[in-house]
Structure 1
Amino acid sequence: MTHVASQFASSYVFYWRDYFEDQPLLYPPGFDGRVVLYPSNQTLKDYLSWRQADCHINNLYNTVYWTLIQRSGLTPTQAQERLKGTLAADKNEILFSQFSINYNNEPLMYRKGTVLIWQKVDEVTTKEVKLPAEMEGRTMAVTRTSMKPVPLHCDIIGDAFWKEHPEILEGNS
């Protein structure tokens, strides 16, 4: 796992300019990687549910915080003070009543985060095939199935995700 975190960090820096041409990378990034063995599938699901709920809580806070700064003209200190002690319902009310933003309509990517799962993906490629009796080869489409990491933006707290992807918790996935 440390190799994965290291490789990701170096790739992040290496490819930064490909995605953010006019914005210099101001500080070197650091990424955490760890392997944890959970005693049961339920414990794993509980952990992942907690992480997704944490993503939601952080995004809701940041959405309100930056909206207060950018659209109300509050300073960062004032926005932080305004949000101190608020609950999720309070933050939703601020967004809706002051800015006509229904947080539930924000893209799932922000509200739920990104989940990467391995899925079978069919890849169609063209291949030239030449049989011994033929003078010229033929081009034909060939479909190959491989496992690829696929990003999903969905709720993993409920049962629907786990019913749609039972292979995640199976021993041979």
Structure 2
Amino acid sequence: MSVTVLLLQFDQKNNIFSVPLPSTLILSGKTLIMANSKYEYVRHFELADHMLPNTWLVVRIDGRGFHRFSQTHNFAKPNDRRAIDLMNRCAIEVMKDIKDIILAYGQSDEYSFIIPKTSNLYSRRSSKISSTIVSLFASNYVMHWTKYFGQDKLQYAPCFDSRTVCYPNDKVLRDYLSWRQADCHINNLFNTTFWALVQSGMTEDAAEKHLRGSFSKDKNEILFTQFNINYNKIEPVYRKGSTIIRQKTEVTSISPRNGEEVKRIKLIPTAIHDDIIGQEFWDVHPELLAEK
């Protein structure tokens, strides 16, 4: 059945009148009505924020005011494994929800989510992608807090900012990820040395002055000679951050038809703590940069 499409419009006195459109639609014998009020012009003030096609999209979220947040919630220094595991859990939940994300990398209070060049997620609208990912992450942070912090109650809501950046090719994307992992190493080496000095009796101001202008080799020497700490033997999760990829995993479920166990292979977002600066990681996971 053909039906007439009507466009509802308003005159200057706000009286409604209809204008038939030339096209017809098959719609269960009903007339399709499209409202077009005099107020709809405000939509033209919205910015077109579609990201460039055929480019990698990276959404990076950062904790806002997390220095105060970590102090309020008594995070262990230099690293609190509970906080790291919670951040990883949030990123995993984001990847479960948004299938277009192929990889995520996180350290400290930040996480980067990688979306492939071929993705048309939300028509590649920057605001839509950023807001969806950061809101999913923040809500999961609150929802899963108790699992990781137990009786330590959440004192106030955490906040994260977010941005979406496009990168033109595989090399630039890898350079971006290398930059974030190098930042993880630099910050963790400083924090490990700084808090070792403070926990040995030095004031925070004195420890900061002591390390000012020092190089990596200087910090490594302080850790080894004064505290018998071999930095290279510290857990990789602290030195290299967390990379989440979709790994093939055997899962068992119960068939609703016959109640029997069914085993199948699924791609499950999983946190690993590998070096992603070198070539080996990318050789082991060639699918990450492969054209989809």
| TM-score normalized by the length of structure 2 | 0.53
Gapped runs of 5+ residues in structure 2? 1-129
Shift of 1:3: 1.3
Give % identity. Answer: 48
Shift of 1:10: 1.9
Partners of 2:145 and 2:135 in 1: CA distance: 15
The structure carrying a bigger strand percent of its residues is 2
1:71-150 alignment to 2 at 5 Å?
72-127=200-255, 130=258, 140-150=260-270
Q: Paired residue for 1:64, among 177, 193, 201? A: 193
1 or 2, which has the higher helix percentage?
1
**Partner SS for 1:22:** coil
Report the counterpart of residue 272 of structure 2 in structure 1: 152
Write the letter of the residue equivalent to 2:264.
R
After TM superposition, the score normalised by the length of structure 1 is: 0.86
Tell me the CA shift for residue 64 of structure 1: 0.5
CA shift for structure 1 position 14: 2.9
- Secondary structure in 2 aligned to 1:122? strand
> What is residue 164 of structure 1 aligned with on the other side?
284
* Distance in 1 (alpha carbons) for counterparts of 2:284 and 2:161: 29
Tell me what 1:135 maps to. Answer: none
1:27 CA drift (Å): 4.3
SS in structure 2 opposite 1:85?
A: coil
Instruction: Describe the superposition over 1:139-164 as per-residue Cα deviations: whole angstroms up to 9, x where unpaired.
Output: 54312222221111010111000000
Which segment is superposed worse, 145-154 or 118-127? 118-127
CA distance in 1, matches of 2:170, 2:156: 38
Quick check: 151-160 or 28-37, which moved more? 28-37
The Cα of 1:62 is off from its aligned counterpart by 0.5
Q: Which moved more, 1:6-15 or 1:50-59?
A: 6-15
Secondary structure in 1 aligned to 2:144? Answer: helix
Matching residue within 158, 165, 174 for 1:29 = 158
- Tell me, what secondary structure is at the counterpart of 1:124? strand
Please give the alpha-carbon distance, in whole angstroms, between the structure 1 residues aligned to 2:212 and 2:167: 35
**One-letter code of the match for 2:289?**
L
Structure 1: unaligned runs, 5 residues or longer: 131-138
Which amino acid in 2 is paired with 1:119? Q
**Matched residues in 1 for 2:257 and 2:158: separation?**
47
Backbone CA RMSD of aligned residues: 1.7
Q: Residue type matched to 2:280 in 1?
A: A
- Distance of 1:21 and 1:42 partners within structure 2: 42
How many corresponding residue pairs? 163
Tell which structure's C-alpha radius of gyration is larger: 2
